[in-house]
Structure formats: structure tokens, C-alpha cells
Amino acid sequence: MSGDINSLKSFNTFAIDASAQQIIIVETAAELSQAWQESQETQRPFLLLGEGSNVLFLENYTGVVAINRLKGIKVTEDDDAWYLHIGAGENWHALVEYSLKNGFSGLENLALIPGCVGSAPIQNIGAYGVELDQICNYVDVLNLRSGETEHISAAACQFGYRDSVFKHHYREGYAIVAVGLRLNKIWQPVMTYGDLTKLDPATVTPQEIFDSVCQMRRSKLPDPQVTGNAGSFFKNPLVSAEQAATIASEFPNMPQYWQENGQVKLAAGWLIDQCDLKGYRNGGAAVHRQQALVIINQESATAQDIVALAHDIRQRVGAKFNVWLEPEVRFIGAVGEKDAVGVIA
């Protein structure tokens, strides 16, 4: 475990030039617990960060940022499934590649989602028709006060759309240290989105779905190593069937996805695109020209540039569709997370 006063620029994919009072790399649960307890003793804020792919630092952080590098993958199996136990600091896409290489199918639709495994349950990540809650078996959470680990079943995770118990009850004083996945041996391909619908269900393989997902994501999403961004900036909004029908009557080509609860999920990127906002700039921040759902750090953007741009997008979409977008990205202030909607409203 090591750390000192440092810049956060290389620890967030937006490449925002913010700093923390202290940055610590943690590789074990004991180091993580110790770092938290020391921050409490010195009355400093504490933030656990994976790869910084879903955060926007609004200002300099006045406390300790612990970089989660808890590694390791263990695999067991029975007649029906493979069971993966993964350290929270493992890279998510590397896990998807590992699973395919070893013949474990079920993660291919989630290829190229940025970030660490530990972040996946917090957001209940999802893409191309698959969400984490469909494959999650459990989540191991470290109680930072006691140093003890709680084993939380998938049912107790309270998964929702980009939501979970880890954004609420387990938000303060806890840290995800491992995630357990269950991958069925009888594979059911999910081919409901984008170019996946063009694949032949009779012959399709997990590798073909993986390759198609990677191609789609790379064609639309900028590489954060080249252009700072945090992937999808806004959540896809859920609206009532009545509201969806009203919008569709004027825009018959609107993408819409019916949910089990009767609501309809709309495509935030499509809504933004209809407002002619691709390429729209505010200061150094811009709406990506290939995918309107992505805000990019085009030219030394500040957090204030990104907030102002997000505000403009939300207002334009709200005025046109009466649909009010909410950020998927977490907003981090000087002492901790802030209400993102409140910041951009």
C-alpha cells in the first residue's frame, strides 16, 4: 500500500484535472479497511475508485482516494453452471475476454464496458439486452468499520435499472471486494439489439456476439485513452406507456423497449440526436458526433464545462419531449458524491 498527494487526472477517464489530498493503491481488503479507518481518525473524506470510468470530479477532493486493485478470479462448476468469484479490482472487459477464452458463455453482450468488476453491481451494468442482475450470484461487501465481509445474495442486492442497494444502504462505510457470477452451461444467445439481430440464431456463437458488440461499441464510442469521456453520460429514461405513445405519434421511428413493469425505456442518445446536438459544444466539452449519449473532453474541458453542457442537453430534450434525462455518471464534489440531477438541473 502506497500513496501521496497526487493528481486524479490519470485516475478518471474524463481526464479532468482535479487532485486529491491523498491517493492510495489498495490490493487487499485489510489495506482497504486500514485506509478507511485512518481517514476516519483524521476526519478526512474517503472515496473508493476503480478505473474512474463513471465519475466526474466537480472540484478537488479534500480527502483520501483509494484505488481498488483487489485481484483474482476463481472458477468452480457443477452440472448446470460455472461459478466465477472475481476480485473487485479486476478489469471488466478483461473478465469477459477471460470467460470466452475458457469456454464460459454469458458475458459476451457486456464486452467493452469500461471499469472494474466492483463497479458492475453498483450500476447494475447492462448492454445489448443483458444486465448484470441476470448473471449475478452474490456480492461480497467489506464493512469498513468492523473489517468483516458480508456475503449478499443477488436477491438482496435490490437491482434496478442502473440502481442497486449499493447506491443506498451500502453507500457509506462499505466497499465491494468481490463479485460472484453464475453462467449457465446451456447457452441462450441474446440478439435483440443493433447488429446482433442480423446474426443467425441457428449458428451464432458467443465469440460472434462478442465480436459484433465490440465492433458496434468501437464504431460509436470514443476511446478514453484518446478522447476523455465516461461512456454513456445519461441513463435511458423510463416513461409510461401513454407518454411513449404520445411521442411515437409524432416520431414513429422512435426506438422504444417495453419493460416487464409496463413502462417503456427510451433511447437517451436518440432523444438527444433529435435535438440536433451532435457536435454541440460548451467550452472544452462537446457532444460526441458518432454517439449523442456521450459527452467528450474535446479540448481541456473543465468539470464546469461538462456540467453546463449536460444542463443544456437536459433542457433541450425536456423542452422537446417532456422527458427529463438523469446522468448515469456519478458526480464527486470536494467531500463526496453529489446529486447529479440537482447539479445539472
Query: Which amino acids are annotated catalytic?
Result: 162, 232, 328
Asked whether 118 and 92 are in contact (CB, 8 A), the reply is no
R_g of the chain, CA atoms, integer Å:
20
* HEC-encoded secondary structure of 87-154: ECCCEHHHHHHHHHHCCCCCCHHHCCCCCEHHHHHHHCCEECCEEHHHCEEEEEEEECCCCCEEEEEH
